[in-house]
Amino acid sequence: MPRDDPDWIIEWRRELGERIADLRAAAHHTQESLSEATGVSRAHIQRIERGTSDPRFGDLLRIAAALDENVTVLIGSPPTQR
């Protein structure tokens, strides 16, 4: 992940991770059970939820499917660029 990303991208990553963590908890998944359901490693899910990793689109699709959500709910709208 580039260290020179603009603040709005860093903020979007953080918000994406929070949405995924909230939806995961609401669906009664642990990081481990979500990992098993998606094939995405638990460590990667943890980094996504912390906002320290850029997930691949395929990972987002698998996570959305396991949480029975549309991927657009996960992605949301990125914060306003400044």
Q: Tens digit of pLDDT for each residue in 2-15?
A: 568 898 889 999 99
> Whole-angstrom Cα distance, residue 42 to residue 47?
9
Calculate mean pLDDT across residues 63-80.
89
Cα(2)–Cα(38) distance, rounded to whole angstroms?
A: 26
Average pLDDT of the residues of the chain: 92
> Helix (H, G, I), strand (E, B), or coil: what is residue 46?
helix
Mean pLDDT of 72-79: 83
pLDDT for residue 80: 67
Choose the weakest-confidence range: 26-40, 44-58, 67-81: 67-81
What pLDDT score does 46 carry? 98
Domain 7-75 sits in CATH at 1.10.260.40
Q: Which of 29, 28, 31, 64 is nearest to 46 (CA)?
A: 31
